[in-house]
């Protein structure tokens, strides 16, 4: 079995390896959050009677737009990025609900699909903007 070690630099410039428990858990937490949110959307769309449907769907409706907005706000400080992304998430959800009510097309399934589509579109735009191989002017060489 292989031991994973993370190299850190000390103040004197020498690199030392730290053992596993001090690893960064961000990717693991991001994966768990994605699984919970995706499961919430699926449980809601198939109209499951699970008691986890409500909390997981609410988690999805708050985090999907928040992640997409946070990805677009790469230059902000972490706390500012989190607060702005959560506020933007609430705004996206309210605009979807208001738009559906104004056009007399309200449905909870339609709302989940609309929020998913808007979040995916935002993430796609961020991905296209940050694609490798592009120059500073945005033109490919």
Predicted confidence (pLDDT) at residue 36 exceeds the cutoff of 70: yes
Q: How many Å separate Cα 45 from the centre of its chain?
A: 20
- Please name the residues in contact with 17: beta carbons below 8 A apart, sequence gap of 6 or more: 5, 6, 7, 8
Express as a percent the part of the chain with pLDDT over 70: 77
What span, in angstroms and rounded, lies between the C-alpha atoms of 141 and 135?
A: 7
Beta bridge partners of 18: 6
Strand, coil or helix: 98: helix
Per DSSP, 76 falls in state S
pLDDT digits 0-9 by tens, 54-102: 999 999 999 999 999 999 998 889 899 999 999 999 999 999 999 999 9
């Amino acid at each position: 079995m292989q031991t994973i070690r993370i190299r850190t630099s000390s103040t004197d410039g020498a690199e030392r390896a730290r053992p596993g428990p001090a690893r960064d858990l961000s990717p693991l937490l991001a994966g768990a959050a994605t699984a919970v949110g995706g499961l919430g959307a699926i449980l809601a769309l198939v109209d499951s009677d699970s008691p986890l449907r409500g909390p997981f769907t609410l988690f999805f409706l708050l985090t999907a737009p928040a992640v997409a907005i946070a990805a677009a706000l790469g230059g902000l400080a972490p706390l500012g990025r989190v607060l702005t992304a959560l506020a933007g998430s609430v705004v996206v959800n309210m605009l979807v609900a208001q738009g559906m009510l104004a056009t007399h097309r309200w449905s909870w399934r339609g709302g989940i699909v609309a929020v998913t589509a808007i979040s995916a579109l935002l993430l796609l735009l961020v991905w296209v903007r940050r694609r490798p191989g592009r120059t500073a002017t945005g033109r490919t060489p």
